[in-house]
Amino acid sequence: MQIIYQDDHFVAVNKPSGLLVHRSDIDRHETQFALQMVRDMIGQRVYPVHRLDKPTSGVLLFALSSENANKMMQLFANGRVEKRYLAIVRGYTPESETINYALKEQLDRVADRKARKGKPAQSAITYYRRLATVELPYAVGPYSTCRYSLLEVTPKTGRKHQIRRHMKHVFHPLVGDTTHGDGKHNQLFRDQFNCHRLLLSAVGLSFKHPITQQQLTLNASLDKSFSRVMMWLKWDKGLC
């Protein structure tokens, strides 16, 4: 993994798709975790302050002490961290949209077996703007062609799988999403582009450093698999 930022208090890396942040009962067979790898890279203990889904790539921030981890988690909890994602979704979306749709907490059968069930839905807000579109000459379902949009997505809240669930809610699911997506379009990308991943990447994280009070913007480049799809779709990286 590439280290994209490091100081005496925090370290940020560009997490690849398919890598867990930390050990989980859900994926007991996994032997590599971002937390462990970053610890070994810098030679000291690190503390996670937020989460990226296993299939999502991009900026992942760790604290170098439990005290600083608590400070950073408060910034996330209070909505004082701006997160920017790139996503490829099915269909032509509007030019921009704010999705305000409450989400019920999703519990994992193994990891959340002790969590209280039946909680009311929580407020969830996601903003996106469309960067590009493409129509491909491949038949999917009843249609002779298929259409996709490249989005810059900014979630205003941090619910579990929020972007994936919100895009499904507005009928523009993420390509490669095996839980909330469209299986036919996922299969098309596997067959035509050898793409076996979720096309969602956390490309930016902005916040005021809780120790130095400086404004930080951490950026992560797209990994090879995502960049390859962008090239095949003839979308210039300058769009990002």
Residues 154 and 76: their CA atoms lie apart, in Å, by 14
**Which position among 40, 53, 182, 236 bears the catalytic label?**
53
Residues 32 and 158: their CA atoms lie apart, in Å, by 25
Q: Which residue has the tokens 């499904």?
A: 168
Residues 229 and 88: their CA atoms lie apart, in Å, by 10
Q: By the 8 A CB rule, do 195 and 189 touch? A: yes
What dihedral do alpha carbons 81, 85, 90, 93 form, nearest 10°? 60
Q: Is 185 helix (H, G, I), strand (E, B) or coil?
A: helix
Q: Is 53 a catalytic residue?
A: yes
Spatial CB neighbours of 44, under 8 Å, sequence gap ≥ 6: 64
Q: Name the token pair of 68.
A: 């600083």
Q: What is the DSSP secondary structure assignment for residue 20, as one 8-state letter?
A: B
Residues 116 and 239: their CA atoms lie apart, in Å, by 43
Q: By the 8 A CB rule, do 164 and 200 touch? A: yes
Instruction: Enumerate the active-site residues.
Output: 53
